Amino acid sequence: MRQLFSIAIVALSAVSIASKQEQGAIRDPTNIVEQVIRKLDDERIQAQIHADTSALERIYADDFIGAGPSGTVRTKPKVISDFTSGDLKFQSITTDDVRVRAYENAAVGTGRSTMD
């Protein structure tokens, strides 16, 4: 069964991201943030496919709120519980039209996910 989800993910501190970069390197901070967000989203997808609850605990913000295709609101504990109980299983997840916008101390990724 395929389901489309809108994804909105992750707020990160730009300062902590920038501090992890090599000293003296001249880089576009927006591009660095985008790369980090995309990598984190890839990790989230793999954690969901493999029901890796420890990774999901690390990746999802404590105040995460998501809406499923039926409009059901899910919090971080509910998402973790769904994977732990086996109520939610994915064989594959693909994303389309992913855009990342970086702000002063946060980033927002949006796009569409197709999940089997």
Q: pLDDT exceeding 70 applies to what percent of the chain?
A: 74
Dist CA 12 CA 24 (whole Å):
22
Dihedral (Cα; 87, 92, 98, 103), 10-degree rounding: 50
List, in sequence order, every residue forming a beta bridge with 65; answer none if it has no partner.
Answer: 75
Per DSSP, the three-state class of 42 is helix
| Secondary structure of residue 24 in the 3-state scheme | coil
Three-state SS for 48-114 is HHCCCHHHHHHHCCCCCEEECCCCCEEEHHHHHHHHHHCCCCCCCEEEEEEEEEECCCCEEEEEEEE
Residue 72: CA atoms inside 13 Å, Cβ hemisphere, count? 8
Q: Bridge partners of 113? A: 5, 95
Per-residue pLDDT tens over the stretch 9-63: 333 333 334 444 444 445 676 788 889 889 999 999 999 999 999 999 999 999 9
pLDDT-above-90 percentage for the chain: 40
Token pair of 16, please? Answer: 């902590």
Domains in the chain, ordered, with CATH? 3-19+27-115 (3.10.450.50)
